[in-house]
């Protein structure tokens, strides 16, 4: 008898920011396949005896191949297990959710998607700022800072990203932000546009750095560190 897979968004890292439904699925799971950013205190919600399998991908580190992760999901479910695929933030946002959904649908495995608090929303909350502002930031846009090869994507909509009336959130962009910043300024974004570097949001190591686009690019050109981070820029309100 086939089991069931729950794709669970764990939020930014603080176990208290998980939804009630997410916690329920973890407490009843036979196996939990978790990303690196969904480990630590979040796994305290798992029931005793559940298989805990780390399948996270981090830039510059050895990581499981995507087809291996998808195969694990299918194999556990075909064995009758209740499986949680635990993803940081919201799984549908730069979380490789689609590839795993395709694998489950091809194998005719029943599944559900439980959303989580996006890390961008958690970062803004931690900084005490809104993502939108009534007169100066009527639009929010999310973009990934690297492609499958780890480089800045070549097909970015620079006109949209250089809009100084939008709040822009860059995921996984610490390494490529210096180049992105050059392109933004070349497309008309003022170099003194406010920027926020939010590292390890929702964890004990959380650090928030308020700066400008040009100053942040200069910093990240020589000093990046290993903490996971988001970059926000635009008409950000003061915290």
pLDDT of residue 90 exceeding 80 = yes
Burial of residue 84 (CB within 10 Å: 0-12, 13-18, 19+) is buried
- pLDDT band at 66; cut points 50, 70, 90: confident
More confident residue, 25 or 146: 25
Task: Check residue 39 and give its pLDDT.
Answer: 84
- pLDDT band at 182; cut points 50, 70, 90: very high
pLDDT of residue 131 exceeding 90 = yes
pLDDT of residue 92 exceeding 90 = yes
**Residues comprising the chain, all counted:** 239
Task: Check residue 148 and give its pLDDT.
Answer: 78
- Report the first-to-last Cα separation within the chain, whole angstroms: 53
The enclosing H or E element of 22 equals helix 20-27
Active-site residues: which are they? 35, 57
State the Cα–Cα distance between residues 163 and 135, nearest whole angstrom: 14
Task: Note the Cα 195 to chain centre separation in Å.
Answer: 18
Domains of the chain: 4-114 (3.40.1010.10), 119-233 (3.30.950.10)
The enclosing H or E element of 45 equals none
Question: Is residue 63 within 8 Å of residue 82, measured between CB atoms?
Answer: no
Task: Check residue 58 and give its pLDDT.
Answer: 57
Task: Check residue 186 and give its pLDDT.
Answer: 97
Residues 9-65 pLDDT 10s? 999 989 999 999 999 999 999 999 999 888 889 999 999 999 999 997 655 555 678
Task: Check residue 85 and give its pLDDT.
Answer: 97
More confident residue, 124 or 56: 124
The enclosing H or E element of 134 equals none
Task: Check residue 61 and give its pLDDT.
Answer: 54
Percent of the chain with pLDDT over 90: 81
């Amino acid at each position: 008898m086939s089991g069931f897979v729950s794709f669970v968004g764990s939020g930014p890292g603080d176990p208290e920011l998980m939804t009630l439904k997410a916690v329920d699925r973890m407490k009843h799971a036979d196996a939990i396949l978790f990303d690196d950013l969904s480990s630590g205190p979040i796994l305290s919600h798992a029931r005793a005896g559940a298989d805990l399998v780390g399948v996270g991908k981090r830039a510059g580190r050895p990581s499981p191949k995507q087809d291996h992760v998808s195969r694990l999901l299918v194999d556990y479910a075909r064995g009758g297990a209740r499986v949680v695929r635990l993803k940081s933030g919201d799984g549908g946002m730069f979380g490789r959710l689609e590839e795993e959904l395709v694998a489950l649908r091809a194998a005719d495995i029943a599944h559900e998607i439980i959303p989580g608090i996006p890390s961008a929303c958690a970062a803004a909350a931690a900084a005490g700022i809104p993502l939108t502002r009534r007169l100066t930031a009527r639009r929010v846009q999310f973009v990934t800072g690297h492609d499958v090869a780890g480089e800045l994507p070549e097909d970015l909509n620079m006109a949209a990203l250089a809009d100084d009336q939008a709040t822009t959130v860059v995921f996984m962009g610490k390494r490529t932000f210096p180049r992105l910043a050059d392109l933004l300024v070349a497309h008309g974004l003022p170099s003194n546009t406010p920027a926020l570097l939010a590292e390890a949001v929702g964890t004990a190591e959380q650090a928030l750095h308020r700066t400008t686009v040009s100053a942040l690019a200069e910093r990240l050109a020589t000093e990046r560190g290993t903490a996971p981070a988001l970059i926000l820029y635009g008409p950000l309100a003061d915290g």
